[in-house]
């Protein structure tokens, strides 16, 4: 099974936190971050990164269910 991840470009402030914590999942592309791959294996690191994003711009989903950021 796989999850999907995305970065809301309207919210992203390019702090680089995601790319620093998980360069295998996220990278900086100019003024915003982006996922390296939209579909990822289930990985708690992706949830930790979504929780750590200062702009809460990263969303991790399992189908239509939002897994991260966690409340």
Write the pLDDT tens digit of every residue in 12-70.
999 999 999 999 999 998 889 999 999 999 999 999 999 999 999 999 999 999 999 99
pLDDT at 30: 84
Does position 6 have pLDDT exceeding 90, yes or no? yes
Tokens read off for 49: 């990164």
Q: So where are the chain's domains? A: 2-68
Does position 3 have pLDDT exceeding 90, yes or no? yes
Helices (H), 1-71: 17-21, 44-52
Higher pLDDT, 34 or 1: 34
What's the CATH architecture for 2-68? Answer: 2-Layer Sandwich (3.30)
Neighbours of 62 (CB within 10 A): 13
């Amino acid at each position: 099974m796989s999850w999907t991840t995305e970065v809301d470009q309207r919210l992203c402030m390019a702090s680089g936190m995601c790319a620093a914590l998980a360069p295998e999942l996220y990278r900086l592309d100019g003024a915003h971050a982006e996922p390296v791959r939209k579909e990822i294996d289930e990985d708690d690191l992706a949830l930790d990164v979504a929780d750590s994003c200062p702009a809460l711009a990263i969303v991790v989903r399992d189908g239509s269910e939002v897994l991260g950021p966690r409340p």
